Each structure stands twice: as structure tokens, then as C-alpha cells.
Homo-oligomer: A and B are copies of this chain.
Amino acid sequence: MSENNKIGTYKFVAEPFHVDFTGRLTMGVLGNHLLNCAGFHATERGFGIATLNEDNYTWVLSRLAVELDEMPYQYEDFSIRTWVENVYRLFTDRNFAIIDKDGKKIGYARSVWAMISLNTRKPADLLALHGGSIVDYVCDEPCPIEKPSRIKVTSTEPASSLNAKYSDIDINGHVNSIRYIEHILDLFPIELYKESRIRRFEMAYVAESYYGDELTFYKDYVGNGTYDIEVRKNGGEAVCRSKVIFVEK
């Protein structure tokens, strides 16, 4: 298979209600587009959720890291390219490039996925799935950003707290992956977004949360524009962790 067939390319435009007060696409919307592209790419190659559901398996996002030089501006066209970097027994690495209206690469993203059985909730062996055909799509396209890091939060003083509401919940009954990103972005004052922009954003999805769960946000400032965040549910278990790196504009 040619390397080109292994990469999917998808086109978007920065819609008015998908940009923030600076006119740039929000990280939540970009995250949504990245996950959709992952779905399109997998579906077109026969290992998408619809095919897997027949066998009662589904994809679960474990890690996401996005690093950007800039974000598309309102009404600008942009595109996202995605490909599979690695397939292990229990995880696969999927990468992305974000390309601006002029064809310039403005950022990259890395993601890590597992597949679970909907019956047992246990992880599936990716190398056994469909006769291991997913490995045919492994591609050596470069993705020059660091892998998702290990995030550890020490703060014991909550930065904020909310109860998961109707709009937070997805078709699986869980708080949706994109809503966590939006709630985390809302931890920062608008002044920070005036002077700086997000250079790198990481999410580690650890456990599920549900309608009515109290989500409490803990935030450490670790210097150099870098914040580590942990979201815990109902006073206990961590549901996700995030690292947000701001740089001056």
C-alpha cells in the first residue's frame, strides 16, 4: 500500500461560533475535529466504530496531545491529516497534522487509543482484530511533537467545581471528551488568553464520569506558562488530567 493511501485528509472551515473572542478556533472544537477525523479514517479503512460494534467492540480515547504555532482564524479554511503511527497489542498511536488555508503545517497532534469489548469492558487485542489488518495502515509520516507526558497534580485546593449536566453527556452516558476540554479552558481568566495563546494542550482520560457527578478541578502552576490540571469526581477518583502550556503571542 502506498504511504499516501494510509493518510486521510479532511477539510474544515473555522465557523463563527467555533472561534473564541480572539477570532481563533477553540481547542475544544479542534479536538472535536481531530476525533471526527480519527473516526472517518478508521471507518474508511474498515476498522471504524460501526464495523466494530457488530462485534461489540468500541474505540476508547486514552491520550491526546496537540501542539500548535497558530489556530485557524474565523472563516478560514483548514485541513487535518491523520495516520496510524504504531499498533501495539492493547494500544494504537494515531497522529494528526493541522494545515492552514495556504497549505502550511501549523500544528500536530498525537493520540493514543484502546479498543474495549462492550460486553466485558476489557481491552481487546488489536493485533488479533480483523486478522491484524490494522497494521497494514501503519505509516512513517513524521509527527515532530513530544508524546503525551505523565501529569501529576499536587494542589489540594479546588480551582472550581461543577455538576455534570445534560449538555455534558454523550451517547454512552458519559461526560463527553470534548466537554472536559472546554471546562478546563474555562479555568483560566480571559486576560491570559489576551496576552498569550495555548502552545500545547494534553489530555489523559483516566475514568468515566456521569450525569450529576460533581467534577472538581485542581490546578498547579508549574512555571514557564505551564499548568497541570486534574479533574476528580465526587471528592475522590481522578477522571482526567491535562497539561496546558501558554506562550506569549
Contact = CB atoms under 8 A, between A and B. Distances in A.
A193 B19 CA distance: 29
B17 A35 contact: yes
Nearest to A192: B166
Contact of A15 (B26, B28, B36): B36
B75 A21 contact: no
Nearest to A22: B171
Contacts of A186: 165-167
Nearest to A160: B165
Contact of A170 (B19, B32, B189): B19
Interface stretch (A82-90, A116-124, A177-185): A177-185
Given A32-B15, A36-B15, A176-B17, A23 B185 contact: no
A120 to B, nearest CB: 23
Instruction: Determine how many copies of this chain the complex contains.
Output: 2
Given A16-B35, A32-B15, A74-B171, A166 B193 contact: yes
A166 B178 contact: no
A17 B172 CA distance: 11
Interface string A178-221: 10001001101110010000000000000000011000000000
A19 B178 CA distance: 12
B50 A170 contact: no
A75 B171 CA distance: 12
Contacts of A50: 75
A173 interface: yes
Nearest to A26: B167
B16 A36 contact: yes
Contact of A171 (B23, B28, B167): B23
A167 B183 CA distance: 8
Contact of A169 (B32, B74, B190): B190
Contacts of A22: 171
A185 B170 contact: no
Contacts of A211: 21, 190
A146 interface: no
A172 B19 CA distance: 10
A170 B36 contact: no
Interface string A20-59: 1111001010001001100100000000001000000000
Give the 3 A-B CB pairs with smallest separation, nearest first: A165-B186, A21-B169, A23-B171
